[in-house]
Amino acid sequence: MSGTNGARNVQQQTTEVAIIGAGFAGLGMAIRLRQEGEENFVVFEAADRVGGTWRDNTYPGCGCDVPSHLYSYSFEPRPQWSRAYSPQQEILEYIEYCVAKNNLTPKIRFSTPIEKAEYDEVKQRWCLTSKAGEVFFARYLVAGTGPLAKPSYPNVPGRETFKGAQFHSARWDHDYDLKGKKVAVIGTGASAIQFVPAILPEVAELTLFQRTPPWIMPRPDRAYTEGEKERFARHPRLQRLYRNAIYWRMEATAMGLTVKPEWMKFVAKLGRKHINSQVEDPELRAKVTPDYLPGCKRILVSNNYYPALASPKANVVTDSIEAITEKGVRTANDEYEVDAILYGTGFAVTEFMADMKLVGRDGMELHDRWQKGIEAYYGMCVSGFPNFFILVGPNTGLGHNSIIFMIEAQVNWILRALKSTRRRGAGVLDVQEKVQRDFNGRIHQRLADSVWQSGCQSWYLDQNGHNFSLWPGFTVEYWARTQRFQPDHFRFEDRS
């Protein structure tokens, strides 16, 4: 199992499947491998704890906008969810529970960031090098690193000159006391609309820099009663029925997003009603009312965001930011002096797996391969990168349903792919270039009519307006299409 690299005297280890990332995706892969009797796998995790995005995002008010009973593995239902929409801590505890229940800790190499993965044609293996210089070989490589991992900061000059405190929502500084402080918040996405109302009672003043207002719907949140939790525990079928009802309710939205964007005008009506019921000031109403179709950017849910903005402590600034200065934030019309700047500015999604150099056949780097456009076969396989699978890869993100559903479909498809490869005595599978190209051609044809291409700017699109993020239809279609592994779409090589 192990050897030595004489030159660097580092340990080399070999495994059948290497999984990178111990978040929902990577752990889902690990649990399903184990359920299928595969023990020869290792999970590499850069941090010292599992949880992925639910470990990194600890900002006040952090929670999930997909209902708890659906935002969980189908094979690990949890009757005790405290609320309809779970807070971050409870989701993190759920992930840790899944790890403990499946005794996965011994399988996880914590504090082991993988810096490079290179495919070795001769060995038919991926060679992984960690930051500390350890070398690992794996026949199959699964990336569970997720697209929302690397914080993105606004592209304005002067950030380094600011003398006060500043941090990103995904790197919240809990040692910084916001009490009585004047703060600037940049961004009005899913994260900011959660932490703005949560910090407002603490701060003295909050200036919110809004570039584009999001569409926000009421959040039908409530605590589950002890009776409900007991019923879910006693009747697993009832819980499954409940989960399915949530799934199909959310799934219905895909019709408006992908097939009939004009239907989203009805959603806009609901959004305007929500604004009008929570905001009295006509000037603020006008500022927070979007001028694009709902769904073009992610539709958010909140009951306390608009009331927070309507507070006398809050000020919404819609002028664009020119610079960050020593004292605060400068727009064309004003300079706002603050004690702290909080960035709710999202993630560098186009820099997918940015911290890792991935080198496939013929020395081709994944980032170079994607220079002309980020694409994969069902979001999972990239031609020229054999035995490599991506979870939540290109065009498999969602604007309307639970990503855990997609992760499970992908994990199960990968298991089918591995079985089929082994059954034919092969050790290598590589998706055919033409199949991948045709698949993406069809995807982008469909995306052209979707609400995401209806004119707004969002992180779903790259700088050319190309949607590399989202699945163009119903998740049930993705599930159905990934029920079968199609060997004729791949090239195989005998196992050496």
User: Smaller CB distance to ligand NAP: residue 189 or 473?
Assistant: 189
Query: Whole-number minimum distance, CB 222 to ligand NAP, in Å?
Result: 17
Cα three-residue angle 221-226-232, rounded to 5 degrees: 85
Among 192, 254, 417, 429, binds ligand NAP (CB under 6 A): 192
Q: Which stretch binds ligand NAP (CB under 6 A): 205-213, 224-232, 284-292, 370-378?
A: 205-213
Query: Whole-number minimum distance, CB 446 to ligand NAP, in Å?
Result: 21
Sequence letter at residue 369:
R
CB half-sphere exposure, 263, CA atoms < 13 A: 11
CA distances from 385 to 139, 185, 201, 265 (A): 12, 41, 51, 42
- Other C-beta atoms closer than 10 Å to the C-beta of 394 total 25
Does 145 interact with ligand NAP (rule: CB under 6 A)? Answer: no
Does 345 interact with ligand NAP (rule: CB under 6 A)? Answer: yes
**Residues from 279 through 308 that contact ligand NAP (CB under 6 A):** 298
Residue among 31, 28, 51, 22 at smallest CA distance from 113: 22
x/- track of binding to ligand NAP for residues 49-88 (CB under 6 A): ---------------xxx----------------------
**Residues from 239 through 268 that contact ligand NAP (CB under 6 A):** none
x/- track of binding to ligand NAP for residues 159-178 (CB under 6 A): ----------x---------
User: Smaller CB distance to ligand NAP: residue 71 or 389?
Assistant: 71
- Token pair listed for 487: 């060997």
Does 212 interact with ligand NAP (rule: CB under 6 A)? Answer: yes
Cα three-residue angle 484-487-489, rounded to 5 degrees: 100
Query: Whole-number minimum distance, CB 451 to ligand NAP, in Å?
Result: 15
Residue 403: partners with Cβ closer than 8 Å, 6 or more residues away: 24, 66, 392, 397
Does 319 interact with ligand NAP (rule: CB under 6 A)? Answer: no
The Cα–Cα gap between 19 and 407 comes to: 14
Burial of 179 (0-12, 13-18, 19+ CB in 10 A): exposed
Residue among 479, 348, 482 at smallest CA distance from 401: 479
Among 11, 82, 311, 457, binds ligand NAP (CB under 6 A): 457
Query: Whole-number minimum distance, CB 88 to ligand NAP, in Å?
Result: 9
Positions that interact with ligand NAP (CB under 6 A): 64-66, 148, 154-156, 169, 186-192, 209, 211-212, 298, 321, 344-347, 457, 459
